[in-house]
Structure 1
Amino acid sequence: MSDSKNQISVTMTDESMLQVSDLLKQITNAMPFLIGITPEQRKRLPKINKSNQSFIKDVEMAIKNDSSILPAYVKPDEMTKDLNLYDQLEEIIVPLSYLLDRLRDTQTLAGSEAYTNALMVYNMVKAANKAGLPGANSLYNQLKGRFDRTSTINTDEISNN
């Protein structure tokens, strides 16, 4: 953002951080059945969508009416449990996704403001060093490594060299 005004000025207390951490642990502990899958598994697994969900419900209804054609190892109740869990988790995922988006947006803004301010200070120190102000040289030498053109090309520096 090129907007130079401070849009966020917040410090979370240790108590708030602890409270949020505890609440997240409570949420995680309330669902001990949660699992992790690999990226490869995530790619391979068939995905549910609205059309598939309707199909599952149609199959569910059909086998409720007549499950005699199914072999004994097919458990229609397991399909129903899985679909119910899917629906329940969707009710949790939607607000959590909203919260995660807000957390990321707030983190991005806070980081952007911190970085923009750091660049502004660096450029002030650089100008002070060019002007020969006492003490500016050591501070400038400490900070300039970030913009050393011999190690990497970086376009973060705001002012001209």
Structure 2
Amino acid sequence: MENRISFSLTEAEQTQLNQHLNSIIAILQPKAIVLDAEDRLELIKMADGNLPFTEKAIGYMESNPNFKPDFVSKEEAEVDLDAFKLGKQFLTVAQQVESILENICVLSGSEAYTAALIYYKNVKMQAQLKQPGAQEIYEELAKRFIKKSGKKKE
């Protein structure tokens, strides 16, 4: 069995990583808003292609304020635009972190589960050969594979 990953963190690294992540949450959470699925569906979305248009329109609000409706705040639009740009900048880095962690989880999880399945199959074979202690281990591990049917027994 090929081992493609051997990832571990020292206790100090784990503590440091947790502290940094908790610091990020502590900074962002008081300024954050919660959107549910319905909110997300209803909102129009800013995309990279919309950014130049948005910047230009907000710029025109400054140079040609006579066309800006009174209920639209140029200042708030600028704050929102800056927040979008800053958020995208941090989101890009956060997505890199997510990708790294996801790859670590996928590969290390796969390798651990593969090793467990190989061990399980070997224990099953040893139990069939009546090796001492194998049957008990097999029965304990076999519980994972018991299928539960939705049918009630009469």
TM-score where L is the length of structure 1: 0.83
* Cα distance in 1, alignment partners of residues 96 and 33 from structure 2: 22
Structure 2 match to 1:7? 4
1:19 and 2:16 correspond: yes
Structure 1 match to 2:152? none
- 1:2-151 to 2 correspondences below 5 Å: 4-31=1-28, 32-148=30-146, 151=148
- Note the alpha carbon deviations across 1:114-159, whole angstroms, 9 max, x for none: 10010011011011111111111111111112223x536xxxxxxx
Higher relative contact order (Cα pairs below 8 Å, separated by 6+ residues): 2
* Cα distance in 1, alignment partners of residues 38 and 13 from structure 2: 37
Identity, % of aligned positions: 27
RMSD: 1.7
Deviation of the 1:95 alpha carbon = 1.3
* Cα distance in 2, alignment partners of residues 14 and 144 from structure 1: 34
More helix by share: 2
Please identify, of 115-124 and 24-33, the stretch whose mean Cα deviation from structure 2 is larger: 24-33
Please identify, of 96-105 and 21-30, the stretch whose mean Cα deviation from structure 2 is larger: 21-30
Q: Structure 1: 5+ residue runs without aligned partners?
A: 153-161
Give the number of equivalent residue pairs: 148
* Cα distance in 2, alignment partners of residues 57 and 29 from structure 1: 30
